[in-house]
Amino acid sequence: MLKNIQKRIAKLPPLLRNIYFLCGVVFGVWMLFLDENNLLNQYRKHHELSSLLAKKKFYVQQIGETQKELTELTADPATQEKFAREHYWMKRDKEDVFVIVKK
């Protein structure tokens, strides 16, 4: 029985008989498919990171625009009046405001 196994092992190519090569293949399969940080998880994490970076870029841009509007509103009374009229429908004395709602 042992001689049959030894004969079969002897028929294998030398590369498949090398213990270091076999350990490397097992390690590679383990890392690529079975580990917690396998290829699929790495792809998902990369996709999530790209999405978060795009959101960050958008929000940084929105913060810049909001800060610009804030400085304009605090600096000029005419801009404050325009903002109040547009957003809060405020009016002057003896003035009518008509609100048109689009359906």
pLDDT of residue 42: 92
Judged against a pLDDT cut of 80, whether residue 99 lies above it is answered with no
Q: What is the pLDDT of residues 12-69, one digit of tens each?
A: 898 888 999 999 999 999 988 888 888 899 999 999 999 999 999 999 999 999 999 8
pTM, to two decimals: 0.58
Q: Which residues lie closer than 8 Å to 80 by C-beta, 6 or more apart?
A: 73
The whole-angstrom distance between residue 38's C-alpha and the CA centroid of its chain comes to 19
CA distance readout (Å), 90 to 69, 71, 100: 19, 21, 15
- Contact predicate 68/61, CB 8 Å: no
DSSP 34: I
Are 65 and 72 spatial neighbours (Cβ–Cβ below 8 Å)? no
Amino acid identity of 70? L
